[in-house]
Chain A
């Protein structure tokens, strides 16, 4: 199965009404395997998601884009940091 999943998965949840962005991210996390990364494009800082990630062994890095959107890069804590 791992060969079917790219090392980095990108999802765009901008323009979706809560809690749909979190639902989509959690679904994508289900498929995230060791060594993989998830890159999320979102309208705002997803503070509740950060809390869920922190409590469940995921690390993240957020960067603000010039167009007002945010990019959140997520990986399993303990894996090699992607940055």
Chain B
């Protein structure tokens, strides 16, 4: 290379958040999964007794807040600038505050469910409301900006997903208030809980997975793009269906028919998204599926299965002799959505995001003699695949444990913990490489 051409390659890459900011979210996530596994192992059958058991609620919130929301917030801080050219306001100051608030609030909420102390609920609600409202406010400022062209559908789904988070948070705060001061809310707890779960799982998590999929499935898994008609309409339609389901949830007679129709369309919409994603992944031209592709296929398969179970559960609740027991099937749908859909998507994305971030932040050390490995070798592919099989086995066992908690809940907890430890180890491989090459430059 000529002398004249070398200096320009010393490029500045530092306009994105620093390496450590998303990583604190990403590394916290498997630690909360480990905590959830410890709780499941400790309580065994009691933690999978029914969706109303306090230990089940603690378990669910450790996963949903400590792992799933944790990773989604970290990924949003990282992805909004990359995908849409949108910077979050004061991200360097807000990021650590949101992380600390979410960690503290999640731990306090899990403790509140386990020990049923009003002051724990109050403290948990304060931390979670502060952290999540701060994050939503920072995003609102950022999302006010016009996104880069081509990112409009992604940004629309992210906006809807954040709106769903706000609804989930409000319903959660009402539920906390009704637990702290019984009778204060004046709304049926069952209805509030159902809507809270609906908006959290299908709104906040589901719409964000969808918005991210529009961009990352074609980009990282090199598929054909999703049809523009799907990208531009599906997430908005599903958001409106969530509104319709919520507002019709207390109706009787013909109104009840409308409610069931909206619910059916919601299930069809998410099922259609899963089927379309599986179709695109099946037609990709790459010969072999990497860990991320395997995870996305599994996540979409679990989404379809959860839809089928939801329909069977609905039929079972009206049947004299139901084909499936209702309460365990409700738990199994939750387990599939949390560990099958959300955790599989998150794990799959971590295997792309973390090596990419490591590669990206190491670029500046290249000029000083460092040789940066190929992005696909930063986490050895066979380690990722091994962790994928562990996680899938754990999901299967957990779903089975919903039907046979006395026998399977502890083995499921043990296997899920192993999968989380393997994920931690794989993520540490990337971070160790980053530190080693940074040190080599500084020496």
**Contacts from A to B (Cβ < 8 Å):** 1, 15-19, 26, 29-33, 43-45, 47-48, 50-52, 55-56, 64, 68, 70
Contacts and interface: CB of A to CB of B under 8 A. Distances in A.
Interface stretch (B82-90, B113-121, B272-280): B82-90
A29 B222 contact: no
Contact of B11 (A32, A50, A56, A68): A56
Given A45-B148, A48-B82, 11 more contacts: A17-B220, A18-B220, A29-B8, A30-B5, A31-B5, A47-B148, A48-B81, A52-B12, A52-B13, A56-B12, A64-B150
Nearest to B11: A56
Interface string B1-14: 11011101101111
Nearest to A70: B150
A19 B360 contact: yes
B20 interface: no
B151 interface: yes
B359 interface: yes
A51 B83 CA distance: 12
B440 interface: no
Contact of A18 (B14, B15, B84, B356): B356
Contact of A43 (B9, B15, B218, B360): B218
Given A18-B220, A44-B150, A30 B1 contact: yes
B16 interface: yes
B150 A48 contact: no
Interface pairs A-B: 3 shortest CB-CB: A55-B12, A51-B15, A45-B148
B225 interface: yes
Contacts, number: 69
A30 B8 contact: yes
Nearest to B285: A15
Given A45-B149, A47-B81, A68-B225, A19 B375 contact: yes
Contact of B85 (A30, A47, A70): A47
Given A18-B219, A44-B150, A64-B149, A26 B9 contact: yes
A26 B13 CA distance: 12
A47 B12 contact: no
Contacts of A1: 2, 4
Interface string B357-371: 001100000000000
Interface residues of B, number: 32
Interface string B319-336: 000000000000000000
A26 B11 contact: yes
A75 to B, nearest CB: 13
5 contacts: A17-B219, A30-B6, A47-B83, A55-B12, A56-B12
A14 B225 CA distance: 12
A33 B12 contact: no
A54 to B, nearest CB: 8
B73 to A, nearest CB: 20
Nearest to A56: B11
B4 A33 contact: yes
Nearest to A57: B8
Interface centre among B6, B215, B356 (most CB of A within 10 A): B356
Contacts of A56: 8, 11-12
Interface string B191-227: 0000000000000000000000001001110100100
Contacts of A32: 8
B16 A51 contact: yes
A4 to B, nearest CB: 11
Contacts of B81: 47-48, 51
Interface in B62-88: 81-85
A17 B351 CA distance: 14
Contacts of A50: 85
A80 to B, nearest CB: 19
Interface centre among B149, B151, B225 (most CB of A within 10 A): B149
A48 B12 contact: no
Contacts of B150: 44-45, 64, 70
Contacts of B148: 45, 47
Nearest to A20: B375
Nearest to A27: B9
Contacts of B222: 15-17
Nearest to A54: B15
A32 B2 CA distance: 11
